[in-house]
Copies of this chain bind each other. A is one copy, B any other.
Amino acid sequence: MTKATTDKRQGRPRGQSGHDRRAQIIEVATALFREKGYHVTSLDDIADRIGFTKPAIYYYFKSKEDVLFAIVSGIADEALARFRAIAQGPGTAGERIHALLVENTRTILRNPDANAVFYNERGLLSPEREQQMRRREREYTRIMRDLYAEGVASGELLDIDPAVATSTLLGASIWSYRWFNPKGRLSADEAAEQITRLLLHGYRLDR
Give A residues with C-beta under 8 Å from B: 37, 39-40, 94, 97-98, 120, 123-124, 148, 151, 155-158, 160-161, 164-165, 167-172, 174-176, 178-179, 186, 191, 194-195, 197-205, 207
Contact = CB atoms under 8 A, between A and B. Distances in A.
Contacts of A40: 39, 124
A121 B94 CA distance: 36
A120 B123 CA distance: 11
Contacts of A186: 161, 164
A200 B203 contact: yes
Given A39-B40, A167-B179, A194-B164, A204 B172 contact: no
Nearest to A172: B172
A168 B157 CA distance: 20
Nearest to A178: B171
A204 B94 CA distance: 7
Given A158-B201, A174-B175, 12 more contacts: A37-B39, A98-B204, A156-B205, A157-B203, A158-B205, A161-B194, A164-B195, A167-B175, A168-B199, A169-B198, A171-B179, A200-B202
26 contacts: A37-B124, A39-B40, A94-B203, A94-B204, A97-B203, A120-B120, A151-B203, A155-B205, A156-B205, A158-B203, A160-B194, A164-B191, A164-B195, A165-B198, A167-B179, A168-B176, A168-B194, A168-B199, A169-B172, A171-B175, A171-B178, A171-B179, A172-B172, A172-B199, A200-B202, A200-B204
